[in-house]
Amino acid sequence: MEGAAASSEGLRYAEYARIPTGTGKGQAELDRGLARTMIAVGLGVATVAFAGRYAFHLWKPWEQAITETAKRISTSSLSSYYKGGFEQKMSRREASLILGISPSAGKAKIRTAHRRIMILNHPDKG
């Protein structure tokens, strides 16, 4: 029975038993290698955490600036277009509002304004 107790005792504490290695390295060398690996992993995780924190702090002001710029661009670029509804038959006044020119503009000015609107709204322009 004494042999059975010793073998069960050895199985119970198998993780504490000295593991023979074929390369001739001792347990202390393996422990140092594992410690170095764990330290390197810990430093890597800490570096990623600090970089993420720094990026998060930088993003807050950038987000506000980007949002304000987008609002300014969208309101200023759309304000030049005519936002009113269309009448049954287009009048000269409505046509001049759509083109962004005065109702008394000459033919050359009407042509350049029409050309500009047609180029902006062309399907091949994206």
Tens digit of pLDDT for each residue in 106-124?
899 999 999 988 888 887 7
Q: What is the mean pLDDT of residues 66-75?
A: 75
pTM of the model: 0.33
Amino acid at 101: I
With respect to residue 43, please indicate whether it lies within any of the assigned structural domains. yes
Q: What is the pLDDT of residue 41?
A: 94
For 23, the token pair is 């390369």
Structurally, the chain folds into a number of domains equal to 2
Q: What is the mean pLDDT of residues 54-80?
A: 76
With respect to residue 71, please indicate whether it lies within any of the assigned structural domains. yes
Q: What is the pLDDT of residue 38?
A: 92
Q: What is the mean pLDDT of residues 48-55?
A: 93
Q: Containing domain of residue 102, as a range?
A: 89-126
User: What residue spans of 1-126 are helical by DSSP H?
Assistant: 2-12, 27-78, 92-99, 107-120
Of 19-23, 56-60, 90-94, the range with the lowest mean pLDDT is 19-23
Residues 74 and 50 in one domain: yes
> What mean pLDDT value characterizes the chain?
77
Sequence-separated (6 or more) residues with CB below 8 Å from residue 109: 101
Q: Is the pLDDT of residue 99 over 70?
A: yes
Residues 48 and 95 in one domain: no
With respect to residue 11, please indicate whether it lies within any of the assigned structural domains. no
For 48, the token pair is 């990623």
Phi, psi at 2, each rounded to 5°? -65, -35
Sequence-separated (6 or more) residues with CB below 8 Å from residue 99: 110, 113, 114, 117
Distance CA 8, CA 13 (A): 9
With respect to residue 70, please indicate whether it lies within any of the assigned structural domains. yes
